[in-house]
Amino acid sequence: MQGTIELRRRPRLCMGAAIAGKKEGEGPLGQAYDRIIEDDLFGEESWEKAECRFFYTAADTCIRKAGLTNQQVDVMLGGDLLNQITSASMAARELKIPFLGLYGACSTMAESLCIGAMLVDAGHVRTALCAASSHFCSAERQYRFPLEYGNQRTPTAQWTVTGSGASLLSCDEHIPAIAHCTHVTIGRVTDLGVADANNMGAAMAPAAADTLVRHFVDTGRSPADYDLIVTGDLGRVGHDILMELMQERGMPLIFERYMDCGLQVFSPEQDVHAGGSGCGCSAIVLNSHILARLRAGEARRVLFMATGALMSTTTSQQGETIPGIAHAIVLEGDAACSGT
């Protein structure tokens, strides 16, 4: 085995919540989100405080939708893109739930689900809340340029999603399940020498290919065994590179069954160049559109894999290349769980 773990107790994914910003709400999935926030400041004094409120609102909404209280959640796992994951940490301060802060860049939603599912599967906790957030304005301030600067964006650049998503995992059979978590594949840091911070899709695609290949080898499965394979935010550039890499490895993805969240959040008319990105990108798509498809039986077995570019402003300024990582988790409906 190369990083794949079978979850024998099949932890239940019981609920999801997605809180999206105004631009995201105007995209193709706008009707699927639990709430659309028209004000990017969310009534706060700064973008960073607004992102904290996005995270808090997603977590709180998910808990309430499941009919639980904060005291009934054993642990919360999550993170964001900001230094010291301040959005997640400060939201946890208000939620008062035992907290494991995670940083996996844009892979954080999948990372939190992988760890949360393993904790539930091992019997260490009964209920785990997994969440991630990002905010266009706070990310631009930290990683790129102040909004007032009005810099030009390259064609390969992506648009950081303003939003947050949360998923509730549990072993409690009294809480209805949308899906079951059956396998996780932990990512390896992969770096093929891409140094352009405006082309993160190219930097992350090799990590996605590495995780997919290991997952298929470990499980004895192929892309045809999944109704849907979902990547987090490779965008147009990374999407196409991943298709090529998997073709070269003899495990070609089925185009109709492969979806990148970064290509789903916004429409072409919204001019976000290569697509959406950020921790919130995969988080809001998973906890709205994908869970809805699982609930409706439109997809019975989904491989959800979020990718992250493990860079910082310091390493970029020093000319370092961009390491990528991708974590994957398999979500199966009841019908799929009873089969192979």
pLDDT tens-digit series, residues 240-271: 999 999 999 999 999 999 999 999 999 988 98
**Strand pairing partners for 127?**
170
pLDDT tens for 33-55 read 999 999 999 999 998 999 999 99
Phi and psi for 57 in degrees, rounded to 5? -65, -40
pLDDT (0 to 100) of residue 273:
82
What average pLDDT score do residues 145-171 get? 81
Is the model's pLDDT at 203 over the cut of 80?
yes
d(CA 284, CA 58): 9
d(CA 218, CA 214): 6
Ordered DSSP codes for 58-105: HHHHHHHHTT--GGG--EEEEE-SSGGGHHHHHHHHHHT--EEE--BT
Q: Tell me if the pTM is above 0.85.
A: yes
Exposed e or buried b per residue across 315-324, where buried means at least 16 C-beta atoms within 10 angstroms of its C-beta? ebeeeeebbb
Residues of the chain with CATH 3.40.47.40: 7-170, 179-334
pLDDT (0 to 100) of residue 80:
96
C-beta separation of 277 from 233 below 8 A: yes
Q: Which fold has domain 179-334?
A: Peroxisomal Thiolase; Chain A, domain 1 (3.40.47)
Q: Which fold has domain 7-170?
A: Peroxisomal Thiolase; Chain A, domain 1 (3.40.47)
